[in-house]
Each structure stands twice: as C-alpha cells, then as structure tokens.
Amino acid sequence: MRPVDAKSIHILTGILGANDRQAEHNREHLGRHGILAINLMSSPGSGKTSLLEQTIDAVGGRFRIAVIEGDLETENDAERIRAKGVPAVQITTGQTCHLDAVMVHDALHTLNLDAIDVLLIENVGNLVCPASFDLGQHANVALLSVTEGDDKPAKYPTMFRAADLVVFSKIDLLDVLDDFSPAKAEGHVRALANPAEILRTSARRPETLAPWIAWLERRLVDRRAARR
Amino acid sequence: MHELAVCQSLLREVARAAAANGAGEVTRVVVAIGSLSGVEGPLLARAFEVARCGTIASGAALEIEAVPVRVRCKICAAETETPVNALLCGRCGAWQVDVLSGEELLLTRVELVVDPT
C-alpha cells in the first residue's frame, strides 16, 4: 500500500470568491468610464421598472442613463425602457433567482460605456438571493412598496441591511391603505443597524422623485470626485 | 434558493485550494456561515450532497460552523449577541452598532489527501 499524506489546510477565503473577483473587475471597468452603477432590488411588483421609467423622464438628459434588466423570462422590461429612448440590456436568467457578476459583465460588453453616466441594474424581483451576490455596483437600493407589509425589513434582514438607500414606493396608495406605517418600516430598517437614507416615491406623482434624482446626482458627483 | 449556486462557487474555491497543494482528494470542507449572510446552513448541506458529485470533493464531508450576530454598541461600547433582524445593543437598546460577526460566508479549512509520488 502506498503511503498517503493527509493534510489539513487552513484558509480564509470568500465562498463567493469567483463572483467577488468578477464583481471587483466590473467595478474597476465601470470606474474607468466614470460610471455610477446602482443595484436596484425589491420583491416582484414593487415598481422597480416604473421607477426607472419615471426616472428617465425626470432626469430629462441631465445625465445619461443605461439600464440592465434582470428577469427569469421575457424581454418586456427592457422594451419598456427602450421605449423611453434609453439603452437597455435584458438578462434572462432562466431559473436563476438573482443576477451575478458574470451576467452583468457580459451585459456591460454590449453597452457603449463611454455614453453612460449612471447604470441602473434592475435585479430579479426577489428579496432573498440577490442580496448575496456582488455585481460590481457602487450602491444598493432596496424598494419597499406600501402594498407590502411594513415588517418586510424584519423578515428579509440580509437584503435591507445591504441597502445604501431604501425607497418606499407607491406612496400615493398610503391615502387608501392604512396598514403600512412608514415609521414602523423605518424602525425595522434601523433595527438592522442600517443608517440608510429613506425616500418616499410614487411613479404617479413625478414631483415625489426629486429627492431620488438628487440622491443619484450626489452619488454621481462623489464617484467622479473619487476618480480624480 | 441560491444555495446550489453558492455551493458550486464553494467547490471552485475548494478545487483551487486542492490544486495549490497538489492534492488528489478532499476529505473535509469546513465553512463559516453567518446568520446574516443570506445562506441557510441546512440548505447548503443538502445542496453540497448534489454539487460535490464528480468533483475532487466527491467524497468530502461538509462541516458548517454557524456564526451568530455580534454587535458592538457605538453608544455604550457593550458587545452583545443579537437576533438577525434586531441588531440592537443588548445592554442599552441603541441601533447605532457595528456588526462584529454574522455576515461571514467563508471557506475556512480543507482536509486533503496528498499523493506523495
């Protein structure tokens, strides 16, 4: 019998190492082009695509937007964005419940990065899986519509802890819904030790988008300053 | 349910470690999974049974070290363990805390069989 040598090797490496390395590469790639990349996450139906449509209208060319859309199936969301005259890449993930850094990298290669200031990545509608996968974004934005429970942050802590900005969407419906308390929802976000700014928007009331657009502009200015 | 994707990524990192050490077989894989990582240990264990097939770790056992959430209060400096959805200081109740642990998603150790020839 040949002698065998058993070894125990201590390592300390991220389990998602391959994704993290690709995400870092994406971030550098975006950084070289001065692009601010935002990872937009929420449940299905919270109004991510509507927010993007209204954002494009509200920005009105003050900065140049491109969109990456993640869905299990269909090209529908990308078509809605393209109808606004903005470049959009649809990633259909099949049965995969989240975007990952490789998918985003492939999508980046189909965009003209010299013609983009802000890249908005709409992740697959899902409050669980997308939170674990770095895409190379500079900030995470989590949407919570007021038609959902105000305890969603307590139910999905990993997602809402990862958010750099939380947006309460469909805020116009607060007039007819009395079971969503923005104060309680904010309390649940704070209980995740997350100091993120919280904004309230309604795609039906374009004036509510001003703080969100201002947030994007501030982040874009910060990105450009960091690049110098 | 993204544990299968996490597992496949884990096995790539295991294969890298095995190759770096000239191993022909992996017998044990040890991971640290924080309760805030978004990955469920029992689901990861089940996914591992499937994902390891046909890899260098096909006979390996998976050992999962569950890492609880610990926070340090910025107000009163106490270090306490908390539930995943209420990262509040266990002493004074403040939410202004730094998370010390609980977000880990780490491969910490592999046990290998190295063919000496």
Q: What is the average per-residue pLDDT within A150-167?
A: 97
Distance of residue A217 Cα from the nearest chain B Cα, in angstroms: 27
The chain B residues in contact with chain A (CB within 8 A) are 1-2, 5-6, 9-10, 12-13, 17, 21, 23, 27-28, 31, 36-39, 71, 84-88, 95-99, 105-117
Residue type, A216: L
Please report how many Cα atoms fall inside a 13 Å half-sphere around the Cα of residue B23, on the Cβ side.
25
State how many domains chain B has.
Answer: 1
- What mean pLDDT comes out for the span A146-155? 96
User: What pLDDT does B117 receive?
Assistant: 64
CB-nearest partner of B12 from A18, A131, A195: A18
pLDDT, one tens digit per residue, over A189-216 is 999 999 999 999 999 999 999 999 999 9
Domain hosting B55: range is 3-114
pLDDT one-digit tens code per residue, A77-111: 999 999 999 999 999 999 889 999 999 999 999 99
Most confident of A10-14, A115-119, A178-182: A115-119
**Would residue A11 count as lying in a domain?**
no
Name the DSSP class of A196. -
Q: How far apart are the CA of B86 and the nearest CA of chain A, in angstroms?
A: 5
* Distance from C-alpha of B82 to C-alpha of A226, rounded to nearest angstrom: 35
B31, B36, B109 member nearest A8 (Cβ)? B109
**CA nearest A195 in B: which residue?**
B96
What is the SS3 assignment for A185?
helix
Is B27 in contact with A100 (Cβ distance < 8 A)? Answer: no
* Percentage, residues of chain A above pLDDT 70: 98
Report the CATH number that the domain containing residue A212 is assigned in CATH: 3.40.50.300
Which DSSP symbol is given to B116? -
CB A46, CB A143: distance < 8 Å: yes
How many domains, in total, are found in chain A? 1
Question: To the nearest whole percent, how much of chain A has pLDDT over 90?
Answer: 93
Cα–Cα nearest to A54, from A196, A167, A194: A167
Structure tokens at B41: 């240990």
Can you name the residues that pair with A200 across neighbouring β-strands? A168
Q: In what order do the strands lie in the sheet with A5-14?
A: A5-14, B105-114, B23-34, B61-67
User: Quick check: is A16 in a domain?
Assistant: no
Contact call for A129 and B113, based on CB within 8 A: no
Chain A positions in Cβ-Cβ contact with residue B106 (cut-off 8 Å) = 12-15
- C-alpha A67/C-alpha A83 separation (Å) is 12
Q: What pLDDT score does B2 carry?
A: 87
- Judge residue A177's burial from the number of C-beta atoms within 10 Å of its C-beta, 0-12 exposed, 13-18 middle, 19 or more buried: exposed
Q: For residue B115, what pLDDT is reported?
A: 77
Report chain B residues whose CB lies below 8 A from the CB of A4. 113-116
Residue A163 is assigned to a structural domain of this protein:
yes
pLDDT(A1) > 70: no
Residues of chain B with pLDDT under 70: 1, 117
Q: For position A95, what pLDDT does the model report?
A: 85
Question: Of B9, B11, B33, B39, which to mutate for an interface test with A (greatest number of A Cβ within 10 Å)?
Answer: B9
Long-range contacts of the stretch B78-86 (C-beta < 8 A, 24+): B84/A157, B84/A158, B84/B35, B84/B36, B85/A153, B85/A154, B85/A155, B85/A157, B85/A188, B85/A191, B85/A192, B86/A154, B86/A191
Q: Do A18 and B114 touch (CB under 8 A)?
A: no
CB–CB contact B107 A154 (8 Å): no
pLDDT tens by residue, B14-34: 999 999 999 999 999 999 999
Confidence band for A3, pLDDT divided at 50, 70 and 90: low
Digit-coded pLDDT (tens) for A30-43: 999 999 999 999 99
Cα B77 to Cα B36, B91, B97: the distances in Å are: 21, 9, 9
Q: Mean per-residue pLDDT for A52-70? A: 96
Quick count: other Cβ atoms within 10 Å of Cβ A93? 16
Task: Give the count of alpha carbons within 13 A of A24, CB side only.
Answer: 6
Q: Do A15 and B86 touch (CB under 8 A)?
A: no
| Structural contact between residues A6 and B112, judged by C-beta atoms closer than 8 angstroms | yes
The pLDDT assigned to A227 comes to: 76
Count Cβ–Cβ pairs < 8 Å, chain A vs chain B: 121
| Distance in Å, alpha carbon of B24 to nearest chain A alpha carbon | 10
pLDDT at residue A61 tops 80:
yes
Searching chain A, which residue's CA lies closest to the CA of residue B7?
Answer: A15
In whole numbers, what is the pLDDT of chain A averaged over residues? 95
CATH number at residue B96: 3.30.2320.80
Kindly indicate the confidence band of residue A166, based on its pLDDT and cuts at 50, 70 and 90: very high
Rounded to 10 degrees, the C-alpha dihedral A43/A49/A55/A57 comes to -160
pLDDT at residue A21, rounded to an integer:
96
- Domain with A214, as residue range(s), is 35-223
Q: For residue A134, give both structure tokens.
A: 């770095």
